[in-house]
Amino acid sequence: MSREVVLDTETTGVDARNGDRIIEIGCVELINHCTTGRTFHTYLNPERAVSEGAFAVHGLSDAFLADKPRFAAIADELINFLGDARLVIHNAPFDVGFLDMELQKLGKPKLRPELVVDTLVMARRKHPGASNSLDALCTRYGIDTSRRIKHGALLDAEILSDVYIELLGGRQADFGLSAPSQGRRLAAANDQTGSESGGSASSPRRSTPRLLHVSADERSAHERFIATLSGAVIWKDYAAPSDDRGT
């Protein structure tokens, strides 16, 4: 079983070394690259003012954060949720830098770098020279971001989990046995435009089974074959005349 946690943070600013702090953490659990429904989410009182630039991005005000817990109060719960999972983060040095700073203040170990997967690095390798922001990747893969009016750690982690699966190669085809989930690749749009990497558009799925004509020679060959089988009663059903089964 492969356990991963997709993680995102919001902060008071962009520089942890100059005193900026985390104000929101969002985590989404994946098992074998599938979401389980388990999440971790909290807002935090950073004990300092949110910068104007950061507020414009996420909309979390000082007044809203004033009664939220400090990082120290949720640190153990967060550590327990992360466990030994691989951490999937977009532009990982940013979030890891803030989390390591908060953990160090409490005398706790930093995050293990070997467990961190940076989806920005993955995207740059897969799409060199293209824009690889989270928004750009969502557009490229047809992932629904209509709920994303402002940045939010949990919502961005949920969206990033979809992006991560696409960067890995996308989900396997389900042969039409299940309805497409919201936030996955928009297959119809891709059928019209094709893959950005130069692949051809996929063929539309057949909605009804195709009936095939069986010739007299093919039926005779089948009858000769089942005659060689011992106790193959069920096969005789498929040798019965079927001129009325379609052409």
Q: Cite the residue boundaries of each domain of the chain with CATH code 3.30.420.10.
A: 3-172+180-193
CA distances from 65 to 34, 45, 70, 123, 197 (A): 32, 5, 10, 33, 44
pLDDT (tens digit per residue) in 50-76: 999 999 999 999 999 999 999 999 999
Element (H, E) at 31: strand 22-31
Q: Which residues pair with 39 in a beta bridge?
A: 28
pLDDT at 149: 65
Which CATH superfamily includes the segment(s) 3-172+180-193? Answer: Ribonuclease H-like superfamily/Ribonuclease H (3.30.420.10)
What predicted TM-score, i.e. pTM, was given to this entire model?
Answer: 0.69
- Our answer to whether residue 151 is catalytic in this structure is yes
pLDDT at 44: 98
Q: Which residue has the tokens 């909605």?
A: 207
pLDDT at 10: 97
pLDDT at 225: 73
The mean predicted confidence, pLDDT, of the chain is: 81
The answer to whether 72 and 44 are in contact (CB under 8 A) is: no
Q: Which residues pair with 3 in a beta bridge?
A: 31
Burial class (CB in 10 A: 0-12, 13-18, 19+), 121: middle
pLDDT per residue rounded down to tens, the chain (247 residues):
899 999 999 999 999 999 999 999 999 999 999 999 999 999 999 999 999 999 999 999 999 999 999 999 999 999 999 999 999 999 999 999 999 999 999 999 999 999 999 999 999 999 999 999 999 999 999 998 887 767 899 999 999 999 999 999 986 544 444 444 444 433 333 333 333 333 333 333 444 444 456 677 777 777 777 777 665 555 555 555 544 444 3
pLDDT at 240: 52
pLDDT at 95: 98
pLDDT at 13: 97
d(Cα 101, Cα 107) in Å, to the nearest integer?
10
Catalytic residue among 41, 90, 127, 151: 151
pLDDT at 242: 46
